[in-house]
Amino acid sequence: MGIRKRPLENLGMKLFGDIYRGKRVLVTGHTGFKGSWLVLWLQELGAEVTGIALAPEAHPNHWELLNLAINDRRIDIREPLPLEQALEESQPEIIFHLAAQPLVRRAYKAPLETWTTNVIGTANLLEACRGLAALRAIIAITTDKCYENREWPWGYRENDRLGGHDPYSASKAGAELVAASYRSAFFNTFSSPLLATARAGNVIGGGDWSEDRLIPDLIRTHGADSSLEIRSPLATRPWQHVLESLSGYLVLGQKLLAGDIAFAEAWNFGPDIEGNRTVVDVLEKMRRQWPSLKWHLTENTQPHESMRLHLDSTKARTILRWQPVWDLDTTLVKTAEWYRSWLETKTIISREQLGTYIADAIRAKYEWARP
């Protein structure tokens, strides 16, 4: 097994105004799929990273494969005292809060775990942030599913009503309300940290082995030489590579670290309209890259899930000047490439793909990617 490297220094690493270099950054949920990619990028940006999370459940998992050297703390965010102690010791300047119970179907099986992790855990973190002298910014990551889903054909905007039918969606709406309350009631002085929330679309990419997610389940069944049972082939989701959401979080963090209170609010980070595709569309596109992939439709009754979900990211595009780098076809090519590299040679190409993503953003002259 190996990690293929690409010299990111040659790509002009004064990205995001070089604001993360030397910064003390705390990432909760760093052992998860999205968190592990974020820590990789932060280290390339020169940040001093502390992670707070539970041990990863899946084996293999992206975090352990990356084998990154950070201040790695195994803490349950539902336990306030260890969490408070870790923050006091690390004295972060910015926090990216990703720790969560992130799975819709698991939330049906374990609703109290979902509610306590996503709502009480967020409250515990924000309470522990009060009084941290060095802290300047907090970004709480929620989800595109935090909106009250009305099966609209158009995208949800940041000022649309929050809600949720299932425990996962509702708990993430609850986390948004907790963040809004703390922002209004406690983080409201000149010296307070700026608090924003971020709502991203369905992230995909290499290194995800979570249960009940389309791409990881597809890869697992392929490895077992079987067929994936799919639940809702016509359900539409805003699909995007994990690096797209992370670039949005990092742009937002840049603005908050610069002290601009106008950015301390909610933000959507979703794909262009062509990224809003059905499950079967994504599967068909994946099979073009990997013809041996197989699936079939389940005949079993399934818990309720929204059929249509779109995000309107106009606000991020116009105000933050953020936009996606890779379209859906490129995203699926990169995803298939990552898993094939792992399955066939046990080579981890995450750093190489991050380098390609940055190079593509520099080539497109995106504002955050200016050397």
- What CATH number does residue 138 fall under? 3.40.50.720
| Closest C-alpha to 241, from 278, 203, 272, 290 | 203
Nearest-angstrom CA–CA distance, 66 and 59: 13
Q: Which pLDDT value is given to residue 58? A: 85
Task: Identify whether 233 is part of a domain.
Answer: no
Specify if 255 maps to a domain. Answer: yes
Do the domain assignments include residue 59? yes
In a domain, residue 245? The reply is yes
Is 226 domain-assigned? no
Angle (CA) 285 360 156, round 5°: 60
Domain count for the chain: 1
> Mind listing the pLDDT tens digit for each residue in 305-345?
666 778 899 999 999 999 999 999 999 999 999 999 999 99
Instruction: Please report whether residue 333 resides in a domain.
Output: no
Q: Is the pLDDT of residue 287 over 80?
A: yes
What is the spatial distance between Cα 44 and Cα 3, in angstroms, rounded to a whole number?
15
Q: How confident is the model at residue 23 (pLDDT cuts 50, 70, 90)?
A: very high
Q: What is the pLDDT of residue 232?
A: 77
Residue 35 belongs to a domain: yes
Domain holding 91, by residue range, is 22-204+239-273+308-327+351-369
Cα separation, 209 vs 195, whole angstroms: 30
pTM for this one?
A: 0.93
Residue 342 lies in a domain: no
- CA–CA dist 242, 38 (Å, integer): 9
